[in-house]
Structure 1
Amino acid sequence: MASTPMDLDPPDSSPANGTPSTSLNITRTLGSGLPSTSAVTDIIGTYRPTKLFRRDDIKDGRPQPYILSLDYDDPGELLMTSESDETIQIYKTREGRHDKQLLSKKYGVKLAKFTHNSSSIIYASTKQNDAIRYLTTHDNAFIRYFEGHQGPVTCLAMHPGNDDFISCSKDNTVRLWNAGTKNETGVLYLNTPHLAAFDPSGQVFAIGSPSSGTVLIYDHRNFDKAPFAEFDIVEACNSVDAAHTVQGWTKLEFANDGRSILLGTKGAGHFLLDSFTGSLKAHLRKPEGGSNRLAAGEEYTMNGGGSNGANMEGSGDCCFSQDGRFVFGGSKKGVVVWDTLGNPSEKMLDPIHVIEDERPAAVVAVNPRFNFFATADQDLVFWLPDPHA
Structure 2
Amino acid sequence: MEPIELTQNVIQSMDIGKVFKDSQRDINSISFSDDCSLLITSADDDSVNIYNVQRGTRDKLLYNKEYGVENVHFTHHNNAFLCSTKKGNEHLVKYWSSYDNRIIHNFRGHGDDITSIDMSPKNDMFISTSKDKLLLLWELRSRRALGRLDYKEASAGGMCTFDPSGAIFALVYPVVTQNVTKNYIKLIDANNYADGAFSTWEVECPEIKGIQFSEDGQYLLAYTVENMILLLDALDGQKKHIFKDFQNENGKVMACFSPDSKYITTGDEKNNSIVFFDVNTYEKVHELRGHPKTPTCLAWSREHALLTSGCQNLLFWVPDQSRIRQ
- Settle same-fold status: TM greater than 0.5: yes
- Please say which structure displays the higher CA radius of gyration: 1
Q: Is residue 2:233 matched to residue 1:267?
A: no
Equivalent AA in structure 2 for residue 268 of structure 1: N
Matched, 1:160 2:118: no
Please name the residue that 1:72 is paired with. 32
Number of the residue aligned with 1:384: 318
- Which moved further from structure 2: 185-194 or 153-162? 185-194
Match of 2:260 among 315, 323, 341: 323
Partner of 1:23: none
Q: Which residue of 1 aligns with 2:46?
A: 86
Tell me the equivalent position of 1:375: 309
Give deviations 1:194-215, integer Å, cap 9, x for gaps. Answer: 1111111111111011225111
Q: One-letter code of the match for 1:373?
A: L
Distance 1:293 1:86, change over 3 A: farther
Of stretches 164-173 and 349-358 in structure 1, the one that deviates more from structure 2 is 349-358
The SS at the match of 1:388 is helix
Residue type at the aligned position of 2:189: D
- Give the corresponding residue for 2:179: none
- 1:1-389 equivalent positions in 2, closer than 5 A: 30=1, 36-41=2-7, 43-55=10-22, 64-128=24-88, 129-191=90-152, 192=154, 194-211=158-175, 212-234=182-204, 242=205, 244=206, 247=207, 249-287=208-246, 289-290=247-248, 292=250, 294=252, 317-332=254-269, 333-342=272-281, 349-359=282-292, 360-389=294-323
Distance of 2:164 and 2:291 partners within structure 1: 34
2-structure distance, mates of 1:317, 1:132 = 22
Aligned partners of 2:174 and 2:183 also within 8 Å? yes
Measured in 1, the distance between the counterparts of 2:249 and 2:316 equals 20
Note the C-alpha offset of 1:350.
3.8
- Give the CA deviation at 1:275: 0.8
The separation in 2 between residues aligned to 1:114 and 1:55, in whole angstroms, is 20
Residues in 1 aligned to 2:115 and 2:249: alpha-carbon distance in whole angstroms: 17
Give the distance between the partners of 2:49 and 2:290, measured in 1 at CA. Answer: 23
Q: CA separation in 2, counterparts of 1:121 and 1:252?
A: 21
CA distance in 2, matches of 1:159, 1:382: 26
Quote the residue 1:300 is aligned against: none
Q: Distance in 1 between matches of 2:209 and 2:320?
A: 30
CA-to-aligned-CA distance 1:206-244 (integer Å, 9 cap, x gap)? 10112251111111111121312111111xxxxxxx4x1
Q: What's the offset of the Cα at 1:356?
A: 2.5
Say which structure is richer in helix.
1
Where 1:368 maps in the other structure, the secondary structure is: coil
The percent of aligned pairs where both chains have the same amino acid is 28
Instruction: Give, in angstroms, the shift of residue 291 of structure 1.
Output: 5.3
Give distance in 1, aligned partners of 2:61 and 2:244. Answer: 37
CA deviations on 1:64-94 (whole Å, 9 max, x unpaired) are 3111111111111111111111110111111
> How many corresponding residue pairs?
309
CA distance in 2, matches of 1:139, 1:120: 10
Secondary structure of the residue aligned to 1:213 is: strand
TM-superposed deviation, 1:375 = 0.6
Question: Following the alignment from structure 2 to structure 1, what is the Cα–Cα distance between the partners of residues 303 and 187?
Answer: 27
Distance 2:314 2:31 in 1: 12
1:371 Cα deviation from its structure 2 partner:
1.0
1-structure distance, mates of 2:149, 2:209: 21
Q: Quick one: distance in 1 between partners of 2:222 and 2:291?
A: 26
TM-score between the two structures when normalised by the length of structure 1: 0.76
Query: 2:18 is matched by which residue type in structure 1?
Result: K
Provide the aligned C-alpha RMSD in A. 1.5
Q: Secondary structure at the match of 1:206?
A: strand
- Asked whether the 8 Å contact 2:129–2:159 carries over to 1, the reply is yes
Structure 1 residue 163: Cα displacement: 1.4
